[in-house]
Structure 1
């Protein structure tokens, strides 16, 4: 039950985005182990990060899909909002981007975002990026980096990914406990990020740190305040600004992401905060879904060892298995949208300015779309309908690369290991934006 008198709407952008305000934390504390069926429907609110940290949110979403799939929460740590929990409803809203906007000035793509007057916002926290833009600017900026992720550009990356995956797996200890997240998931994604940005491999963990600062600055284990996190983000700008200017001045077209931004007419003259915003978008996009789906795959195969045996017997199912990992993990738990006008959706009247959470983590377990949705099944027939990469104009631009990394890694795992056994409780991220695994103790059995 909520207690206290703090008004979330009166918080600054920094306070609301960080969620580190102690009054807010106290008012909106939840018991993640509470029986969901005993909560009155009007009070059912699935957005609290503690529910995700304890993996309690699935029961909340299952009830909402059944009883109130377009659900209004009047009071939360993010303010009032609508939960969109069904697969088809999310598709319909994503298609209607003129009415349901992702624009930053309305609040952007996270529930923690706050609408603001562009002239009055603290510039330290104003980081425009193309995922928080509507067409036509979104379209032009997305096109700047899209060539990196087409098939002809990805093909040369395949042997590089395989070589790096092999090296990572070969150095892992056998029959000894270690953390899969740090030794494999983060290692592969960080190495590939350094390649995509064409920066030294020894700097790769800076990219992971900046990804955490952009998406997980509410975690007191990582940052003492939002100001600390944003100081680190501006260090990211300092790191890349000289690189950007040098590649902008180059007469030879580059094939890395920085060069593409620096040489495109739509992005080469971006102001500093917009350059930083788009850099962070590409860093986070190249990190979170791949990293957490790699970790999630290990977890799901540990829970369903029969599926691992099936995959061992039939490695041709690796591409399908990878998509099932992405569906089950749903590394991006939600994307937020804002109603740009009064409208009605599924019989619910929404007002201009209303915030919506498109819960991909719920839609990917929609019983009307996926048979036995909570079960991990590597040969799921309609797996391509998953929303692990979003949908519509804002679908993840690098989804093919993410799939390629996962496929290659699991091909190499199958050749080496009889089993990847989880030997301790996984730890999950305190976030309802990202559905992440932060620790995964495992032990390997060699073939």
Structure 2
């Protein structure tokens, strides 16, 4: 599978653009050493610089081959296990008897939750509480609603955004397209004012990057202040929806659900942030990552142009290749043996979806390549497995399908002109900047 060393270099007019400043104190490219130069025990995926520099892949590959159930004894988040192979990740994800996602045990992210926020939500709950809280939410993404209301709305908005893009001039795809489209859809799902939709994006970024100096330079104090602003805003909305007749938006369903109509402040904030992050990061980062991947694999871009009927399968492949949420955490409820290792009761366990989606033992064709007609594409693990499988996956797939249908109607090519800037996060695998030039059809 042909891949350019970076992005595809096409002939184009000379252009100028300004790359965002990176105030990180760890800016040296040699800071993240190749995995061959470090002790296996020193592999720690919580070091965010490897994610910002996109240098975690050799670590996952080595663990899959040599130590698929890997113990990191010393990390900022405390000791934890890494599960890196596809079948093992799947086995842990569906084993709700021995592995818990409950907030009382630590929830779905590695480390101890900050004291002011426990992360209580239905994704951080075990059965039967999980399903009791989740079930009412499913009405917001019912197939009939997607088909008759959301699809025409998404198509109209997507067309308008694409029509507004400059032709032949550089701009940031993340800001102009990915963030804008997902913010509009998220505001619709929550019935949140469209004029304030970027507040949702901001709260998502702050929640998942509390110590990133680019996003939250004020650290813990700023993080707490902005989350309290989010809580104040949604406490008012929650009360308003409780007093109004039931509707199909997520906040109304939360306010009227039998298991969610009397949430505490912590539970309300946890569920709201879950909805915001889940509705934002998967779609936003795949919208950017998919375009970046097509430029890295130009033969696949040509294949797409020759056969737009490949779009639905390509969407699944893009979600696999990107893997927008890199992992989910579980906590062992009892001693569990895997690959000759014993995970002790109470241990943190990271299911690395991003590694499972590149597992050479499972994927029949080169897992590091984007192959838009890959036969196994729909078997990606980006949405999880079992009872915790993402219930908004159909919305994400719909948005991505429509985006590429509308792109092919308008553009001969969308050219990525530089390497992107990436999120400094081991949880959200995404992009903060992706410079492109659009070439419209005559």
- Whether these two folds match at TM > 0.5 is yes
Q: Secondary structure at the match of 2:262?
A: coil
Instruction: Name the CA distance, whole Å, in 2 between partners of 1:404 and 1:51.
Output: 31
The aligned residue for residue 263 of structure 2 is 270
Q: Secondary structure at the match of 2:70?
A: strand
Cα deviations across residues 312-352 of structure 1 (Å, max 9, x unaligned)? Answer: 11111001111111001111001111111122122211111
Alignment partner of 1:149 out of 118, 141, 163: 141
Task: Please tell me whether residue 436 in structure 1 is matched to residue 430 in structure 2.
Answer: yes
Alignment partner of 2:224 out of 221, 224, 230: 230
Alpha-carbon spacing, 1:127–1:355, altered in 2? closer, same or farther (3 Å): closer
Alpha-carbon spacing, 1:267–1:298, altered in 2? closer, same or farther (3 Å): same
Instruction: Name the CA distance, whole Å, in 1 between partners of 2:207 and 2:361.
Output: 34
Instruction: Name the CA distance, whole Å, in 2 between partners of 1:32 and 1:139.
Output: 44
Instruction: Name the CA distance, whole Å, in 1 between partners of 2:30 and 2:197.
Output: 37
Task: Please tell me whether residue 161 in structure 1 is matched to residue 154 in structure 2.
Answer: yes
Structure 2 spans left out of the alignment, 5+ residues: 1-23
Instruction: Name the CA distance, whole Å, in 1 between partners of 2:264 and 2:60.
Output: 40
CA RMSD of aligned residues (A): 1.7
Alignment partner of 2:130 out of 135, 138, 150: 138
Instruction: Name the CA distance, whole Å, in 2 between partners of 1:194 and 1:34.
Output: 42
Instruction: State the 1:30 CA deviation.
Output: 10
Instruction: Name the CA distance, whole Å, in 1 between partners of 2:318 and 2:223.
Output: 30
- Whether contact under 8 Å (1:363, 1:387) holds in the other structure is yes
Q: How many residues align?
A: 414
Structure 1 residues 403-412 or 214-223, which shifts more?
214-223
Instruction: State the 1:404 CA deviation.
Output: 0.1
- Whether contact under 8 Å (2:68, 2:339) holds in the other structure is no
Instruction: Name the CA distance, whole Å, in 2 between partners of 1:347 and 1:429.
Output: 35
The aligned residue for residue 327 of structure 2 is 334
Q: What does 1:412-423 align with in structure 2 at a 5 Å threshold?
A: 412-423=406-417
Task: Please tell me whether residue 102 in structure 1 is matched to residue 95 in structure 2.
Answer: no
Structure 1 residues 145-154 or 173-182, which shifts more?
145-154
Instruction: State the 1:424 CA deviation.
Output: 2.0
Instruction: State the 1:105 CA deviation.
Output: 1.7
Instruction: Name the CA distance, whole Å, in 1 between partners of 2:170 and 2:303.
Output: 25
Task: Please tell me whether residue 405 in structure 1 is matched to residue 386 in structure 2.
Answer: no
Task: Please tell me whether residue 362 in structure 1 is matched to residue 355 in structure 2.
Answer: yes
Q: Once superposed, which parts of structure 1, at least 4 consecutive aligned residues long, lie more than 6 Å away?
A: none
Instruction: Name the CA distance, whole Å, in 1 between partners of 2:419 and 2:94.
Output: 39
Cα deviations across residues 51-94 of structure 1 (Å, max 9, x unaligned)? Answer: 11101001110111011111111111221111100000011111
- Whether contact under 8 Å (1:191, 1:204) holds in the other structure is yes
Normalised by the length of structure 2, the TM-score is: 0.91
Instruction: Name the CA distance, whole Å, in 1 between partners of 2:175 and 2:200.
Output: 14
Q: What does 1:272-421 align with in structure 2 at a 5 Å threshold?
A: 272-370=265-363, 371-421=365-415
Task: Please tell me whether residue 202 in structure 1 is matched to residue 214 in structure 2.
Answer: no
Instruction: Name the CA distance, whole Å, in 2 between partners of 1:288 and 1:46.
Output: 20
- Whether contact under 8 Å (1:46, 1:61) holds in the other structure is no
Q: Secondary structure at the match of 2:107?
A: coil
Q: Secondary structure at the match of 1:337?
A: strand
The aligned residue for residue 17 of structure 1 is none
The aligned residue for residue 249 of structure 1 is 243
- Whether contact under 8 Å (2:183, 2:197) holds in the other structure is yes
- Whether contact under 8 Å (1:30, 1:50) holds in the other structure is no
- Whether contact under 8 Å (1:81, 1:356) holds in the other structure is yes
Instruction: State the 1:419 CA deviation.
Output: 1.1
Instruction: State the 1:356 CA deviation.
Output: 0.8
Structure 1 residues 225-234 or 275-284, which shifts more?
225-234
Instruction: State the 1:353 CA deviation.
Output: 1.0
Q: Secondary structure at the match of 1:94?
A: helix
Instruction: State the 1:31 CA deviation.
Output: 5.2
Cα deviations across residues 153-200 of structure 1 (Å, max 9, x unaligned)? Answer: 211200000000000000000000000000000000000111111121
- Whether contact under 8 Å (2:34, 2:58) holds in the other structure is no
Task: Please tell me whether residue 181 in structure 1 is matched to residue 174 in structure 2.
Answer: yes
Instruction: Name the CA distance, whole Å, in 1 between partners of 2:321 and 2:170.
Output: 25
Alignment partner of 2:418 out of 412, 416, 424: 424
- Whether contact under 8 Å (1:213, 1:230) holds in the other structure is no
Instruction: Name the CA distance, whole Å, in 2 between partners of 1:299 and 1:67.
Output: 31
Alpha-carbon spacing, 1:362–1:341, altered in 2? closer, same or farther (3 Å): same
Q: Secondary structure at the match of 1:148?
A: helix
Cα deviations across residues 9-37 of structure 1 (Å, max 9, x unaligned)? Answer: xxxxxxxxxxxxx9xx99xx995541211
The aligned residue for residue 208 of structure 2 is 215
Instruction: State the 1:287 CA deviation.
Output: 0.1
The aligned residue for residue 68 of structure 2 is 69
